[in-house]
Each structure stands twice: as C-alpha cells, then as structure tokens.
Structure 1
Amino acid sequence: MTHIPINTPFWLEPKPVMFPPTNLALKEPDGLLAVGGALTPEWLLQAYSNGIFPWFNPGEPILWWTPNPRSVLFIDSLKIKRSLRKTIQKLEWDESLTVTLDQNFTGVMQACATVSREGQDGTWISPEMLSAYQSLHQSGHAHSVEVWQKGQLVGGLYGIAIGKMFFGESMFSKVSDSSKIALVALAMQLKAWGFELIDTQVETPHLNSLGASTLSRVAFEKVIQQQINQPFKPQKWQFSIDWADAVYGHCQTECKTP
C-alpha cells in the first residue's frame, strides 16, 4: 500500500480543478505529484487527461501520481503465448466461458479490491473509489471487461477511456489466464476502434511479459494528447468484432512468443 511522505510538494483544494505541472512530481516516491483535491468526475478526467491517477490508502488524503518512466502496452506489441492462444481458440466451442464488455462494472471493481497482490497489504479500491469510478462508468468514460465461466465472474479488468486513449486501472483472475483473456479481448476490440495503446501505469515483470514497455513522462504525455483528441463518443461498450478471431490475425503478424 502507499504511504504519505513528509515532503509532499503540493496540496490541492477541492476547487479549482487544477494540477501543478507534472515535471514537479517527486522522484522519491516516484511520481507523487499532489495531495488533496476530490474524487469527482471532473477531477478524475482532468487527471487522466494529463497522465495522472489517484492511488492512496483508505482513510488517507487523495494522492495523485505520474510515474516516470511510464509503463504502456502498445497493442501491436501485445505478446500472446502459444498456451494462451490455444486457450482462446477453445473459446469458440466452449460455451461455458464467455467475455463481455460493461456488463458488470461494479462486480469487476469489487473483485479487483479483494484479490491479494504480492507486496500489498489490503486494497486502495475503497468505497470512495468505487463510487467515483461508478460515476465515470455511468457517463461512458469508465469501462470493464468481464470473463464468465458458467455464469460466474472469474476474471476481468477496468479502466478509463478518453478519446482513443485507454487507461488501465486494475485486473483480477480467479481461474487460470482469465485476466489475460480479458486484456487480449480488450486489446483486439480497441485496435478495431483505432486505439493504439493501453496505459499500464507502473512497470512489472508480468506486464513486460505481455509486451508492455516504458516511455518517459514527456513522451507519454505527448502520446496522451494525440490519443485523447481523437473523437470517440463516451458510451457503454460492447464487442463489434469477433475478438477471438482477431487474435488469429494479430498473431499472424505480431505474435513472436512461443
């Protein structure tokens, strides 16, 4: 979990909705920019539009972060290992496992909050965070991917979309590969809509194994501005493609992982 350092640089009042320049973020802890503000849709959309996201312990003031470098997943660089490809191919005739978009946003967030994570005690997904992102979901800016097995929610992820930029927040898996399936399905649909990358926030070996790489904060912010300014109507999402079939096309040209 996060801890508030003594040398926090900026305190934000609830109004006006304004962040300090991101180049003033701390180097230790990496990317801490400000404390305070509010978890309203206005604050959150302003934050994500500038590469900033909230992450803090329940009961503490809101902490706003902009890590440098930034972990991102360019969709064309997505690595889908052979074992996962075989699992996805089986979905075409395995009716017990299905993938949906925006069918149970609250359930996905709640599941992400309960999954134990290495090096983390408890969760940052508090009732306050849940309520804030539910508001964004209702306005068509926050989205979820659900993986179902025999009608039970067994995996998924959620994040924020502004223009053609998707900011990933968290994922969970209750059965093998279910979170990876959610990510692959999302990536294929985003690619079909003209999205180029997914913000994955902080570098981890797991994300790198899926094809994530890092960008400097300056480079990341340039990409954000390019992507968020591409028109894409906020709305409830649903698949417009056969995402499993799209995996085959993707792997014909992009998959190089055995």
Structure 2
Amino acid sequence: MERNLIHERETGERTGLHRRSVLCIICILSLSLGACAATTSLKIVKYGDDGITILNETSATYEWMEQNLPVHGDGSTHYYHQGPVFLDDPDPAIQEMLRWNAPEDKNVREKDMGAVKGTNLRDLCDLVGGMSPGDTVKIRAADGFSREFAYRNVYYPPSGQGPLVVTWWKGDAGYVPDYREGMRLVFFADTRTNPWGIHAFGNWDWHESADEQFWYYYRQGDQKYPTTTGLSVQYISDILIYSGSPSQSEPPRTTAPDVLEAPTQAGFSLHLIMGALGAGGFLAYNFKR
C-alpha cells in the first residue's frame, strides 16, 4: 500500500512537471511567433542630433493611413523586387557585373511582392517633421530586423527605384493581419528596364540609386550577391528618423550601419523560433529529470 502511494505520488509529480514544461514551451513559441506576426499599426519617431532625444513622435494604424494619407497601388498592379543572381566568371569585374544584372532579367518574376497597396514612407516621415538632407530613416520590424535609408532615396527616389511604400493590403489576402507579411516595405519601381514590362526594382536600380553603404548583399560563404529582396522589411513596427550620417546617430545601436553582413529577415525570424525550440527542449529535458 505504502509503495503504491509513493509510486502514485512520483507519477503525479512527473505528470505535473511534464505539463509545466509543455506550458513553458508553448509560451516561448508564442512569444517568438508573435514577434513574426503581421503588424496593424506603427510608431514614428524623430530623434535629435544626439540620436536619443525625441523631437516628435506619433503612431498610426493602417486604417488611419488609408483614410488620411494618399494610397499608393491600385490593387491590381503587381510589384517585384530582384533576388540574388548566382552567376560566376573568372574575371572578378565581369562576375560583379553579372551579379548586379543590369538587364534585370534574372530572378525577378520569382520575387513578386503582389498587388499591394500602402502609404508612401515620405508621408509617414512628414507626420513627425520629416527628414532633411543627411538624415537617415531606420525601418524596424517587430522581430528586430531593420534596414536604413538615406534622405534622397525617401524624398527624391529615381524612377528605377520608385517610392518606398509601407504596404498594408495585398490582393490575394486583403488587409493586415490577413496580409501576413505586412506591413511590408515595397519599392514601387517603374517598368522601363526588364524585358517583361513589369514594375521591377532590380539590383542595378539600387546600385544606381543609393550610396554604397546602403547596398545589400546575400552572402554565401565568401561570395556575395546583390539583391533587393533583402530591403523589403516585413512586419514593420517602427519608423525612426535620425539626424546626420548613420555612424553619428543612435549611440545605443548594437549593429553597425553597414548592412552587408546582415541576415535576411526570414533567417532572422527562423533564429528566434529555433532558439525558442531549443530553450523549450532544454526545459523539457530538465523537468523530466
């Protein structure tokens, strides 16, 4: 009898520990997946010269943006970015040009951002006083991923680049949060270069539009491949305006302004989820013990 009671008590304790470990895993995964969910509002902040003092700030929902600011996109026109072009050549100079792909004819139609609608980033910046020459704006996602852009690319975009649009509606999904990648930054480029006559924001478009410090590369070992898909931040939660050059603003930053080594957002989010799974497994193992 006593032995049975001890066995039942130990079994009950193990069951309780197992339940708690499962709950811990669920909580951790919920937090990680929540950081990768579509956003429905964003915060806009303009900082002073020290990169810390807030000069002005506001928040906006996608409903407010649609009702109060010009809407970009007609709901049927698709917009494209360009992925990496995996071409090689013994001559480094030729290889570099192959990968920049000036004809804009490789890995473009595969990067369809959809028939999207949204709000011009410039209009959102203007809500807190706008940008000035020399300023940079940081587009940050709910999962911490971010990209930075110069004043001229936001306020005077060449046609090959097109306006930077924070999209909150997609043809096959509707509004965020049903538009699961939103809010998402999409470049509304023109149709002049690519052979299909589509609105494509090509790698060479960005080469010709932006300063080198803002170029983005997909890295594979010691090889680097230009791509504009890495500029398309998903789950946007914050728009942060800094005075002066990136190296002179926002002292608390933990990453350098040069984004060439930065991971893709999909990889960044995957690291969060894998970390959560690892932590959950560790907890489960220790609870079982």
Normalised to the residue count of structure 1, the TM-score between the two structures is 0.23
Which entry has the higher C-alpha Rg, 1 or 2?
2
